[in-house]
Amino acid sequence: MPDEPLELGEIAPSDYYIHRDTMAGVGFLTIARRLPSLIAQALRMAWTASPRDTVTTVSLSLLGGIVTAFGLLATTGVLTALFSEGPTPGRVLAALPSLLLVGAAAVVRTLLQAGAGWAEARLSPQIQRAAEQRLYSLTSRVELVAFDDPDFHDALERAEGRGASIAGSVVSAAVDVVTSLVGLAAAAGVLGLLHPLLLPLLLLAVLPDAWAAVRSARQRYSTMFGLGPARRRKWIISKLLADRGPAAEVRAFTMRHFLLRVYDAVARAEQEEMLKLVRRQTLTRLVGNALSGLGSAVVYVALGLLLAFGAIPLAVAGTAVLAIRSSQSSLSSLMYTTNGLYEQGLYFTDFLRFCADAERRLVPPRPLPAPEGFDRITAESLTFTYPGAEQPALREVSVEIKRGEIVAFVGENGSGKTTLSKILAGLYEPDTGTVRWDDTDLRQVSPDDLRLRTAVIAQDHTRWPLTARYNITMGTDKGEPALLSAAAVAGADEVVEGLPHGYRTLLDRRFKDGQELSGGQWQRIAVARGFHRDADLLICDEPTAALDARAEHALFERIRTHADGRTVLLITHRLASVRHADRIYVLEHGKVVEQGDHETLLALGGLYAELYTLQASAYR
């Protein structure tokens, strides 16, 4: 239906536009009040990234302003000599020393600006790297439960999406603001030295340009804020048209024409708004230029009057004209960079706030190393509630796992099986209750040490864009025999044999020579990953979810064989796979409601027997 009206509903705001409403409502004075704080924050970040380049950038920028002032003052000497009485050759010779100083100042200023630009260009990638390193160092160390906190997740998206990437731009904008201020101060200082009355003339000449710059920037921010939803739609539709994930369904449901219609409608609306913005900004600049011209005319009239009454000599008037023109250029640059710095500073502040919050979420140092193995693991009265949840995921749960046992957690979705396993693995900490390896309370043990002694085969395992070898070893170096043994136990060796480069094959088709695996093949790689860890406690969370019946049976046989002398915690919905477990815990609504071996639970006639009977009846 090509003529069907398009419904373009609102889409949730992205982090890019999160501060557009703030920018649309503030005035320049608000921005100016925040400048010192923003500049200080930016320079601290720059100092952390590279003290040498930071000092070089700021020092050369300041020296450039001083040299500019010196050049303007030297210009007075040139003009005084040229406007004096006497033959022209004599006046030129008299002006030559001052002229050489002006030329030298211009050369030095150019060199200083080039040096400052070089140092700033060096500084930007270092700041980017330092910001990203700080961000990802924190995100990889915070407690896992932080990622279940909506507030933390939102803050992370803002910090990662714009905050970290904009850090270098904030520093560049801060340096540009400082440079513009120095240039403006240099021109004002020269005028003050020449004659006190010239300073008010400076304001008369530059204020129209300042008004035009601020108004033009405000018009742009307001337009961009209004275009936020449209640009979000445009971005989302572009992803649907160009990303790999939806590519198959776009073709299967012949969505191409419809998506292009939506994209064109949004892009056309955006284009119309941008053209309106161009017209408004052009009108603003015309008014600003007209007022600036009027102000300049008043300045020149005032200078003429000062000359007529002998208040200033002609050379000073000429220098004043040059200083006013220089100040106009510096002020125009200052207006734009200040607005840009304020907007970027909002995102940069998001980044700094997130880092501060993440540091508060880090696990403090703990005194005890992880135990060298265990005879039994005991969990007593565990209660755990996810951030923002109204009800606990676990309620007064107590379990026991002995060394060498195969223990199963079963239950319906949402019963708390995976949450309990993550607590036992040290990934979550309970709100109340204790987990002990023998007599060692895990609250006293470094989480990283504990995780070296546990292995998790997750249902939602990560498909790492790495080689097959690294997808199994995860960067550890236990040698070739350990790799081959883990792959053989999991059946992943059969998967690797079919790859063109064996264990060196990159498992991501987005890259050259990369290969893609099926869900079942990835499952075997993930199982091999857990076996390669050779940990004291192996947690298998739905390890056969993507396997067919034959592969599932073979894998469980391998797990039982591999578990000889090891401790395995098995989580699965397929109850036929847990019949041989030494102990089965049945969870319901976050509580352990039954426990025992398979035969005991069947005889009990409770939830386990009901679920087992339901599954078994499907095969009759």
- DSSP tag of 5: P
| pLDDT value at 270 more than 50 | yes
- Average pLDDT of the chain is 79
pLDDT on residue 221: 63
Kindly state whether residue 473 falls inside one of the protein's structural domains.
Answer: yes
Where residue 462 sits, what CATH number does that domain have?
3.40.50.300
**Which of 52-56, 235-239, 362-366 is predicted most confidently?**
52-56
Q: Are 423 and 430 in contact (CB under 8 A)?
A: yes
Q: What percent of the chain shows pLDDT beyond 90?
A: 5
Question: Is residue 383 pLDDT above 90, yes or no?
Answer: yes
List pLDDT tens digits, range 525-554.
988 888 888 888 888 887 766 566 676 677
Query: What is the rounded average pLDDT of the residues 312-317?
Result: 72
Q: How far apart are CA 97 and CA 101, in angstroms?
A: 6
Same domain for 168 and 142: yes
Is residue 421 located within the same domain as residue 565? yes
DSSP assignments along 26-94, one per residue: --HHHHHHHHHHHHHHHHHHHHHH-HHHHHHHHHHHHHHHHHHHHHHHHHHHHHHHHTSSS-HHHHHHH
- At CA 363, angle to CA 360 and CA 367, rounded to 5? 135
User: What are residue 568's DSSP bridge partners?
Assistant: 406, 538
What percentage of the chain's residues is helix, strand, coil (to nearest 5)?
65, 10, 25
Shared domain check, 340 and 390: no
Same domain, 396 and 274: no
Residues contacting residue 587 through CB under 8 Å, at least 6 positions apart: 397, 409, 410, 411, 415, 416, 417, 420, 593
Q: What is the pLDDT of residue 79?
A: 61
Residue 252 included in any domain? yes
pLDDT, tens only, 407-448: 999 888 888 888 898 888 888 889 899 999 888 888 888 888
Higher-scoring residue by pLDDT: 33, 405? 405
**565: three-class secondary structure by DSSP:** coil
Q: Are residues 345 and 431 in the same domain?
A: no
How is residue 515 written in tokens?
Answer: 């290969």
Domain check: are 283 and 202 in the same one? yes
Query: What is the rounded distance in angstroms from the CA atom of residue 336 to the CA atom of residue 218?
Result: 10
Residue 384 has pLDDT above 90, yes or no: yes
The whole-number average pLDDT for the span 215-227 is 70
- Contacts with 600 (C-beta within 8 Å, 6 or more apart), sequence order: none
Q: Name the domain count of the chain.
A: 2
Both 346 and 380 in one domain: the answer is no
pLDDT digits (tens, 9 = 90+) for 394-411: 999 999 998 888 899 988
| DSSP secondary structure string for all residues of 436-450 | EETTEEGGGB-HHHH
Say yes or no: 401 and 475 in one domain. Answer: yes
Whether residues 134 and 170 fall in one domain: yes
- Look at residue 585 in the predicted model and tell me its pLDDT: 92
Mean pLDDT (whole number) for 19-41 = 63
Question: Could you tell me if 353 and 441 lie in one domain?
Answer: no
For residues 144 and 447, what is the distance between their CA atoms, to the nearest angstrom? 11
User: What is the pLDDT, as a whole number, of residue 247?
Assistant: 84
**Is 507 among the domain residues?**
yes
Alpha carbons 593 and 588: distance in angstroms, whole number: 6
- Of residues 19, 42, 96, the one with CA closest to residue 341: 42
Give CA separation, 170 vs 61, 353, 391, 490, in Å.
Answer: 16, 16, 43, 50
Question: What CATH number has the domain bearing residue 198?
Answer: 1.20.1560.10
Sheet holding 376-384, edge to edge: 394-402, 376-384, 432-437, 440-441
By residue count, the chain amounts to 620
For 548-586, b/e burial (b = at least 16 CB within 10 A) is: eeebbebbbebbeebbeebbbbbbbbebebbeebebbbb
Distance CA 511, CA 509 (A): 5
- The answer to whether residue 2 sits within a structural domain is no
What residue numbers bound the domain in which 525 lies? 376-617
- 406-410 β-sheet, strand order: 454-457, 537-541, 567-571, 406-410, 583-588, 591-596
Evaluate whether residue 368 is within a structural domain: no
Cβ pair 409, 420 in contact under 8 A: yes
- Tokens in use for 284? 């603003």
Q: Residue 127 pLDDT more than 50?
A: yes
The mean-pLDDT minimum among 58-67, 309-318, 375-384, 511-520 falls in: 309-318
- Asked whether the predicted pLDDT for residue 475 surpasses 60, the reply is yes
The amino acid sitting at 143 is: E
Average pLDDT estimate for 50-64: 86
Would residue 254 count as lying in a domain?
Answer: yes
Q: Tell me, what's the pLDDT at 424?
A: 87
Percent of the chain with pLDDT over 70: 83
Same domain for 356 and 380, yes or no, is no
The answer, yes or no, to whether residue 173 has pLDDT greater than 90, is no
Block residue for tokens 């193995």: 373
Domain-embedded: residue 613: yes
Q: Measured between alpha carbons, how far is 465 from 471 in angstroms, rounded to an integer?
A: 8
| Straight-line distance from the first to the last Cα atom of the chain, in angstroms, rounded to the nearest whole number | 49
Q: Are 35 and 170 in contact (CB under 8 A)?
A: no
- Domain stops at, among 336, 360, 384: 360
